[in-house]
């Protein structure tokens, strides 16, 4: 079918008139009305309920020819008397959005952004945001048309008033999609595509035009000032509100408050933004921390870093580089202080990579990343194991694990008297079976936790002398304590007693006056991670 | 499942530090708190039959304050010459538990120690939020005279301001306090 035939068929099935053949004449009439006020042909198509995106892709010139040819065929007035079609930058309905796509330099702006970001992904969910004024202008043009349908039976007016005009978004997306598919080989998939692209068009000249809606007798739209991010902004004019206000707008009020038909704009529409965001990729594994000088994540108090280095920075930076992303979130199954080592099989973690330009890597690449992390300057401090891709649904395992799993620790402890065989026997007897301790909120976290007494279980506990230490003097007061505890147990407080606020504690178990924790290591975080495939 | 790495602790790094702890089983607390003392002025007005005395405050890096009786407190001084079993029976520790969670000021009485006719009033001597009163003092008041400087603490208060000079205005450092005690002894 050629364009004229396609157009004819579109108008025929548009439903503008109860009888299909008559719909064509109604459609041409509406198109002429809109052309009289300088609407672009694509807006004529959407006002005449044209559903076939293929037709929107035709040029303005071809559409003019098709409309006029069709009018001639039906022996009605032509839609336009112009020989050459005007460039549709001044369309009062879409503000030129639907003609914007015709200009190569405009599309180039979009191509440039895509080329810069260079996503390694071919499935795209394309969205667009039209200038806000297109909402009320389409509505007002609908009113303008509705007052000029007297040539037709009343049912036509009824039909016209009952259905809203097609959203310009659909035509815009259809034309742009074509160009993107042609240039990049993309698949446009609004349902499951992981890469979301939003093209935002602005028309500054008419951006506040809709505010006439606040002037109606019983306004749906009420503007108010609110504070957001320490700035005062105006709220109450969302697109939803505008749509509601338009639905409640009577014709009389519309005529009294604003121009019908709305005037064509004098300035061009602009590309405000091309936002591209890819779904997060999640990479996880287990890390070991052999240093007592690395914090888990960068921690700052009053502008000063607590520890110079952190585990998360040692791991994230390299992963971010391979996946080409700007930001990440480091999530771990529990935490350890900077001066506590994480040994054994390491602590489960995952990294959520925000907006990765290269979302997918092969398994071999993860081995490469792991090796790179394990061989950089921090290698004696931080190591990772089992680095791999994690599916988003598995991330809950980490959070659940924090509550339910048990942890193994080993500590170098000091007590205020020599550790005798009796003391060792006493502690190990108690520690050979699970026992409960009551922990009042530790003083060191009392400023950010509520006061409570938490009961925790020490599953096992074992005390030994330090290898090679003397049996008398200060050396004999050191011991190695190995513990297996319920998740959430405060180990340091179990050792030093926190001024008697954790009971029993190591001092009370040994019968000594005081005890202190000298060094602490986490030996094991009992959680299956990464999850089995 | 866990790889058993053997303990690799090098205690020689710590022997110097812990040898300082040999004389005082609470010396290690200096790693967790800074010790200050509040000396009660003789001019402070008191109700009849009530006694005020010196207190200590251990402040943690997060500005939490742990308050207790100092060795020079009249109750501690007098308890040293009394029969401990009798003292335990006669001593009644009354904690102002209704004040926990509220803001206290310099003059707020947070606890009382009643021995016979004498009531020792324990005042907050700072502004802040009272987080805790040591619940173990009720049943085991001997913590007060046997473990004055650690498990016998009386209260935990959250500082109103971060600046210690302001929060604990007028308090003496450990060194200043010890010096003043020595001076008093020699008088």
Q: Where is A425: in which H helix or E strand?
A: helix A421-431
B25/A344 touch (CB, cutoff 8 Å), yes or no? no
Q: CATH code at B176?
A: 2.40.50.100
Q: Is residue A18 assigned to a domain?
A: yes
Q: Is residue B61 assigned to a domain?
A: yes
DSSP bridge partners of A304 = A301
Q: Is residue A132 assigned to a domain?
A: yes
Q: Are A188 and A321 members of one domain? A: no
Of the residues A288, A446, A492, A526, the best mutation for testing chain B's interface (the one with the most B CB atoms within 10 Å of its CB) is: A446
Select from A410, A447, A496 the Cβ nearest to the Cβ of B63: A447
Q: How far is Cα A100 from Cα A268, in angstroms, rounded to an integer?
A: 9
Beta strand segments in A98-210, E: 123-129, 187-188, 195-202
Q: How far is Cα A307 from Cα A310, in angstroms, rounded to an integer?
A: 7
B9/A444 touch (CB, cutoff 8 Å), yes or no? no
Q: Are A144 and A182 members of one domain? A: yes
Q: Is residue A533 assigned to a domain?
A: no
Q: Are A27 and A96 members of one domain? A: yes
A478/B5 touch (CB, cutoff 8 Å), yes or no? no
Q: What is the tally of structural domains in chain A?
A: 3
Per DSSP, A76 falls in state: S
Q: Is residue B109 assigned to a domain?
A: yes
List C-alpha distances in Å: A508 to A466, A492, A494, B185. 21, 14, 10, 35
- Per-residue pLDDT, averaged over B53-57, amounts to 96
* A364 burial type by CB count under 10 A (0-12 exposed, 13-18 middle, 19+ buried): exposed
User: Which of A277, A286, A294 lies closest to A336 in space, CA to CA?
Assistant: A294
Domain boundary among A261, A277, A293: A277
End-to-end CA distance of chain B: 67
Residues 6+ apart with CB under 8 A from B8: none
**Chain B environment of A343 (Cβ under 8 Å):** 3, 5
Complex ipTM value: 0.93
Q: How far is Cα A419 from Cα A506, in angstroms, rounded to an integer?
A: 12
Going residue by residue through chain A, which has 533 residues, state the pLDDT in tens, using 9 for 90 and above.
Answer: 799 999 999 999 999 999 999 999 999 999 999 999 999 999 999 999 998 989 999 988 899 999 999 999 888 888 888 766 666 568 999 999 998 888 888 999 899 999 999 999 999 999 999 999 999 999 999 999 999 999 899 999 999 998 888 899 999 999 999 999 999 999 999 989 999 999 999 999 999 999 999 988 888 888 888 888 888 888 888 999 999 999 999 999 999 999 999 999 999 999 999 999 999 999 999 999 999 999 999 988 878 888 899 999 999 999 999 999 989 999 999 889 899 999 999 999 999 999 999 999 999 999 999 999 999 999 999 999 999 999 999 999 998 877 777 889 999 999 999 999 999 999 999 999 999 999 999 999 988 888 899 999 999 999 999 988 888 888 999 999 999 999 889 999 999 999 999 999 999 999 999 999 999 999 999 899 999 87
Nearest Cα of chain A lies from the Cα of B23 at a distance, in angstroms, of: 9
Q: How far is CA A79 from the centre of its chain?
A: 46
Q: What is the tally of structural domains in chain B?
A: 1
**Chain B environment of A446 (Cβ under 8 Å):** 62, 64, 131-132, 156, 158
Q: Is residue A532 assigned to a domain?
A: no
Q: Is residue B6 assigned to a domain?
A: no
Q: Are A414 and A504 members of one domain? A: yes
- Domain limits for position B134: 33-186
Q: CATH code at A484?
A: 3.30.70.3190
B18/A500 touch (CB, cutoff 8 Å), yes or no? no
Q: What is the pTM of this model?
A: 0.81
Q: Is residue B26 assigned to a domain?
A: no
Closest chain B residue to A513, measured at CA? B25
Q: How far is Cα A41 from Cα A48, in angstroms, rounded to an integer?
A: 10
Q: Are A313 and A383 members of one domain? A: yes
Nearest Cα of chain B lies from the Cα of A508 at a distance, in angstroms, of: 12
- Provide the phi-psi class of A191: left if phi over 0, else alpha when psi is between -120 and 50, else beta: alpha
Q: Is residue A350 assigned to a domain?
A: yes
Domain boundary among A402, A418, A434: A402
Q: Is residue B69 assigned to a domain?
A: yes
Q: Is residue A531 assigned to a domain?
A: no
Per DSSP, A380 falls in state: G
Of the residues A469, A516, A528, the best mutation for testing chain B's interface (the one with the most B CB atoms within 10 Å of its CB) is: A516
User: Which of A322, A359, A483, A326 lies closest to A411 in space, CA to CA?
Assistant: A483
Q: In this structure, are residues A79 and A35 in contact, taking their beta carbons and an 8 Å threshold?
A: yes
Select from A480, A514, A516 the Cβ nearest to the Cβ of B9: A480
Nearest Cα of chain A lies from the Cα of B150 at a distance, in angstroms, of: 5
| Phi, psi of A153, deg, nearest 5 | -60, 155
Q: Is residue B45 assigned to a domain?
A: yes
Cis check for the bond before A261: say yes or no (omega within 30 of 0). yes
Helices within chain B (DSSP H only) = 15-19, 74-79, 84-90, 136-139, 142-146, 164-167, 174-186
The set of catalytic residues of A is 337
**Confidence at B5, pLDDT banded by 50, 70, 90:** low
Nearest Cα of chain A lies from the Cα of B15 at a distance, in angstroms, of: 7
**Chain A environment of B32 (Cβ under 8 Å):** 443-444, 496
Structural tokens at position A288: 């070991």
- Domain limits for position A392: 281-402
Q: How far is Cα A218 from Cα A449, in angstroms, rounded to an integer?
A: 51
Q: How far is Cα A292 from Cα A521, in angstroms, rounded to an integer?
A: 9
Q: Is residue B124 assigned to a domain?
A: yes
Long-range contacts of A472-476 (CB under 8 A, 24+ apart): A472/A418, A473/A418, A474/B15, A474/B18, A474/B19, A474/B22, A475/B11, A475/B15, A476/A418, A476/A419
Residues 6+ apart with CB under 8 A from A486: A406, A456, A457, A458, A459
Q: Are A255 and A293 members of one domain? A: no
Residues 6+ apart with CB under 8 A from A101: A107, A172, A175, A176, A179
Q: In this structure, are residues B65 and B58 in contact, taking their beta carbons and an 8 Å threshold?
A: yes
Domain boundary among A402, A437, A469: A402
Q: Is residue B173 assigned to a domain?
A: yes
- Provide the phi-psi class of A116: left if phi over 0, else alpha when psi is between -120 and 50, else beta: alpha
List C-alpha distances in Å: A198 to A356, A390, A496. 17, 27, 57
The lowest-confidence range among A271-275, B46-50, B88-92 is: B46-50
A513/B3 touch (CB, cutoff 8 Å), yes or no? no
Of the residues B1, B4, B13, B25, the best mutation for testing chain A's interface (the one with the most A CB atoms within 10 Å of its CB) is: B25
């Amino acid at each position: 079918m050629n364009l004229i035939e396609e157009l004819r068929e579109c108008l025929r099935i548009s439903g503008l008139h109860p009888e299909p053949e008559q719909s064509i004449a109604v459609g041409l009439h509406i198109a002429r009305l809109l052309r009289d006020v300088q609407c672009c042909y694509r807006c004529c198509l959407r006002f005449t309920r044209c559903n076939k995106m293929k037709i929107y892709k035709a040029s303005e010139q071809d559409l003019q020819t098709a409309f006029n040819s069709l009018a001639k065929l039906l022996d009605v007035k032509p839609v336009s008397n112009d020989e050459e079609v005007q460039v549709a930058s001044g369309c009062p309905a879409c503000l030129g959005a639907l003609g914007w796509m015709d200009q190569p330099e405009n599309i180039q702006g979009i191509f440039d952004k895509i080329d810069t970001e260079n996503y390694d992904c071919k499935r795209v969910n394309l969205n667009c945001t039209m200038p806000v004024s297109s909402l009320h202008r389409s509505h007002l043009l609908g009113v303008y048309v509705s007052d000029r349908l007297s040539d037709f039976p009343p049912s036509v007016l009824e039909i016209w008033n009952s259905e809203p005009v097609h959203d310009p978004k659909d035509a815009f997306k259809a034309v742009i999609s074509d160009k993107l598919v042609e240039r990049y080989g993309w698949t446009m998939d609004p349902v499951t595509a992981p890469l979301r692209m939003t093209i935002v068009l602005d028309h500054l000249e008419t951006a506040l035009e809709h505010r006439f809606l606040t002037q109606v007798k019983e306004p749906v739209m009420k503007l108010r000032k609110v504070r957001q991010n320490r700035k005062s902004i105006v709220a109450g004019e969302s697109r939803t509100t505008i749509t509601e206000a338009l639905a409640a707008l009577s014709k009389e009020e519309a005529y009294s408050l604003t121009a019908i038909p709305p005037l064509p704009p004098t300035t061009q529409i602009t590309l405000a933004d091309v936002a591209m965001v890819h779904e997060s990729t999640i990479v996880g594994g287990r890390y070991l921390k052999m240093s007592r000088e690395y914090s888990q994540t960068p921690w700052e108090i009053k502008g000063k870093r607590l520890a110079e280095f952190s585990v998360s920075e040692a791991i994230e930076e390299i992963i971010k580089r391979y996946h080409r992303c700007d930001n990440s979130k480091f999530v771990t199954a529990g935490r350890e202080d900077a001066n506590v080592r994480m040994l054994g099989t390491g602590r489960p973690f995952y990294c959520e990579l925000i907006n990765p330009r290269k979302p997918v890597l092969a398994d071999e690449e993860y081995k490469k990343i792991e090796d790179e992390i394990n061989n950089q300057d921090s290698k004696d401090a931080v190591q990772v194991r089992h680095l791999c891709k994690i599916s988003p649904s598995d991330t809950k395992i980490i959070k659940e694990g924090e509550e339910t799993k048990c942890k193994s620790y080993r500590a170098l402890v000091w007590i205020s008297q020599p550790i005798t065989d009796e003391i060792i026997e006493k502690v190990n007897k108690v520690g050979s079976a699970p026992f409960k301790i009551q922990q009042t909120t530790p003083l060191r976290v009392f400023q950010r936790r509520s006061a409570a007494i938490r009961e925790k279980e020490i599953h096992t506990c074992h005390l030994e002398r330090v290898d090679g230490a003397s049996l008398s003097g200060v050396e004999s007061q050191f011991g190695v304590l190995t513990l297996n505890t319920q998740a959430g147990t405060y180990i340091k407080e179990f050792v030093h007693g926190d001024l008697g606020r954790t009971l029993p504690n190591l001092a009370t178990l040994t019968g000594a006056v005081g005890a202190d924790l000298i060094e602490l290591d986490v030996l094991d975080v009992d959680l299956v991670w990464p999850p089995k495939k | 499942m866990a790889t058993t790495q053997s303990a690799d602790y090098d205690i020689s790094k710590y022997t110097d530090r812990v040898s300082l702890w040999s004389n005082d089983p609470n010396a290690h607390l200096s790693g967790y708190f800074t010790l200050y003392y509040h000396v009660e002025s003789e001019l402070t007005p008191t109700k009849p039959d009530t006694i005020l005395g010196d207190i200590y405050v251990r402040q943690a890096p997060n500005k939490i304050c742990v308050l207790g009786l100092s060795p020079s407190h009249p109750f501690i001084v007098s308890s040293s010459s009394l029969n401990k079993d009798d003292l335990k029976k006669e001593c009644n520790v009354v904690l102002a538990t209704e004040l926990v969670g509220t803001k206290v000021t310099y003059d707020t009485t947070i606890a009382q120690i009643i021995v016979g006719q004498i009531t020792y009033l324990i005042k907050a001597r700072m502004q802040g939020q009272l987080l805790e009163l040591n619940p173990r003092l009720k049943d085991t008041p001997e913590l007060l005279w046997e473990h004055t400087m650690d498990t016998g603490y009386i209260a935990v208060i959250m500082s109103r301001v971060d600046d210690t000079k302001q929060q604990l205005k007028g308090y003496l450092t450990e060194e200043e306090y010890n010096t003043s005690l020595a001076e008093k002894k020699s008088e």
